[in-house]
């Protein structure tokens, strides 16, 4: 008998059989992308009735709190479960020590209260880091050119507490200071915020993909030097697992890998090693590159965007922060309605 005639080999086995019709492809799909995995990052602007497009991120804008509420309500109506808020703090409120981050009435806290009051069914994720509040654009306090780790922790704790008091659902430290997860968890629990979820940007790389985001929050032009002494080396993945393990031991409920697509291997390793919810951030540079290619007619935005989001799911993501969340939600709604 010819080897080809044995079961499990061609021509007895033909893998194309399960690809020949849409219903078969759906039935045999190993992973599924749904609106439940989408998180929409949005930028907050001072003032009222204000909307400013972000030039380096086509389709993305900053919104004043009153207009932000309408945008978040639209996201909730699309089924998106959570939004992540990022403030573009006024220049005159930025200081070397980032003290505005701990102001209970800062732009971020006002936005949290407004969104929570108007759209209580959606989750709110808040970034804990000092770069939107400092004159130097770094995530921590500085002494000369040195980022001060332990001194920064005290400020981050106060920042997390004022946002929790404002009604934040998920505290998300993105600063990459050592020990910040344990310090924040202890402070939240001590202040009675035991139900506040702690999402750690555990594996945040010193990436070249962050430029448009820094434009959006106004920290890019201010940044002195770079962030390589605290954000991770893109060459390392074992180190990412050490970061994640430490943050989980300190009380993190979920972990983040950032950026997203260039680090799918890290996402997969994290999910398989720890079995906890792993989120990815499809960062500003990833989104901007996709949009630029689409705007030039080189790629189909909808098709490539959905393929990319599916890749995050295939790698093991429980959730995906993406500026394309609303677009993806509309596409998913259309496909499910058929």
- Tell whether 241 and 184 lie within a shared domain: yes
Catalytic one of 49, 154, 204, 326: 204
Using alpha carbons, select from 165, 127, 159 the residue that is nearest to residue 141.
Answer: 159
Q: Average model confidence (pLDDT) for the chain?
A: 95
- Tell whether 3 and 44 lie within a shared domain: no
Q: What is the mean pLDDT of residues 5-12?
A: 78
> Active site includes 154?
no
Q: What is the mean pLDDT of residues 231-254?
A: 98
* Helices 180-190 + 238-250 axis angle, to 10: 20
Span 77-103, pLDDT tens digits: 999 999 999 999 999 999 999 999 999
Q: What is the mean pLDDT of residues 4-8?
A: 64
> Active site includes 258?
yes
- Tell whether 125 and 16 lie within a shared domain: no
| Residue 213 pLDDT grade (very low, low, confident, very high; cuts 50, 70, 90) | confident
Query: How many domains is the chain built from?
Result: 2
Query: Which helix (H) or strand (E) is 328 found in, with range?
Result: helix 325-337
CATH number for the domain harbouring residue 292? 3.20.20.70
Q: What is the mean pLDDT of residues 141-145?
A: 94
In the prediction, which pLDDT does 224 show? 80
- Tell whether 26 and 37 lie within a shared domain: no
- Tell whether 70 and 23 lie within a shared domain: no
In the prediction, which pLDDT does 338 show? 42
CA 155 to chain centre: 22
Q: Indicate the pairing of strand 141-143 with strand 61-64.
A: unpaired
Structural domain that includes position 20: 1-30
Using alpha carbons, select from 237, 174, 180 the residue that is nearest to residue 201.
Answer: 174
* Angle subtended at Cα 101 by Cα 42 and Cα 318, rounded to the nearest 5 degrees: 40
Residue 216 has pLDDT above 90, yes or no: no
CA distance 237 to 216: 29
- Tell whether 13 and 36 lie within a shared domain: no
| Residue 117 pLDDT grade (very low, low, confident, very high; cuts 50, 70, 90) | very high
Span 175-193, pLDDT tens digits: 999 999 999 999 999 999 9
Catalytic one of 116, 154, 224, 258: 258
How far apart, in Å, are the Cα atoms of 142 and each of 134, 138, 207?
10, 8, 21
Q: Indicate the pairing of strand 123-128 with strand 170-173.
A: parallel
Three-state SS letters, 164-205: HHHCCCEEEECCCCCCHHHHHHHHHHHCCCCCCEEEEEEEEE
- Tell whether 237 and 91 lie within a shared domain: yes
- Tell whether 151 and 280 lie within a shared domain: yes
| Residue 217 pLDDT grade (very low, low, confident, very high; cuts 50, 70, 90) | confident
- Tell whether 137 and 78 lie within a shared domain: yes
- Tell whether 177 and 201 lie within a shared domain: yes
- Tell whether 223 and 122 lie within a shared domain: yes
Phi-psi region of 90 (alpha: psi -120 to 50; beta: other; left: phi over 0): beta
- Tell whether 37 and 185 lie within a shared domain: yes
Q: What is the mean pLDDT of residues 306-328?
A: 98
CA distance 194 to 253: 12
Which percentage of the chain shows pLDDT scores above 70?
A: 96
């Amino acid at each position: 008998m010819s080897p080809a005639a044995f079961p499990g080999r061609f021509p007895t086995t033909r893998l194309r059989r399960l690809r020949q019709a849409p219903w078969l492809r759906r039935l045999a799909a190993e992973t599924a992308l749904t609106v439940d995995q989408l998180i929409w990052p949005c930028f907050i602007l001072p003032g009222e009735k204000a909307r400013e497009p972000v030039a380096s991120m086509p389709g993305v804008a900053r919104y004043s709190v009153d207009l932000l509420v309408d945008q978040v309500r639209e996201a909730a109506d699309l089924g998106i479960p959570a939004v992540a808020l990022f403030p573009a703090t006024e220049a005159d409120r930025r200081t070397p020590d980032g003290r505005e981050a701990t102001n209970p009435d800062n732009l971020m806290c006002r936005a949290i209260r407004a969104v929570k009051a108007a759209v209580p069914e959606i989750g709110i994720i808040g970034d804990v880091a000092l770069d939107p509040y400092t004159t130097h654009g770094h995530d921590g306090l500085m002494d000369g050119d040195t980022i001060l780790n332990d001194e920064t922790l005290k400020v981050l704790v106060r920042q997390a507490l004022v946002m929790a008091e404002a009604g934040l659902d998920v505290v998300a430290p993105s600063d990459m200071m050592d020990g910040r997860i344990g310090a924040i968890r202890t402070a939240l629990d001590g202040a009675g915020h035991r139900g506040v979820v702690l999402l750690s940007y555990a594996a945040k790389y010193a990436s070249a993909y962050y430029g448009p985001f820094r434009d959006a929050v106004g920290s890019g032009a201010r940044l002195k030097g770079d962030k390589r002494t605290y954000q991770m080396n893109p060459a390392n993945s074992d180190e990412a697992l050490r970061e994640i393990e430490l943050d989980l031991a300190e009380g993190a409920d979920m972990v983040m890998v950032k950026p997203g697509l260039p680090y799918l291997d890290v996402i997969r390793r994290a999910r398989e090693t720890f079995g906890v919810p792993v989120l990815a951030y499809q960062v500003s540079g990833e989104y901007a590159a996709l949009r630029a290619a689409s705007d030039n007619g080189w790629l189909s935005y909808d098709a490539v965007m959905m393929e990319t989001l599916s890749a995050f799911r295939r790698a093991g993501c429980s959730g995906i922060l993406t500026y394309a969340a609303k677009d993806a939600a509309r596409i998913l709604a259309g496909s499910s309605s058929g």
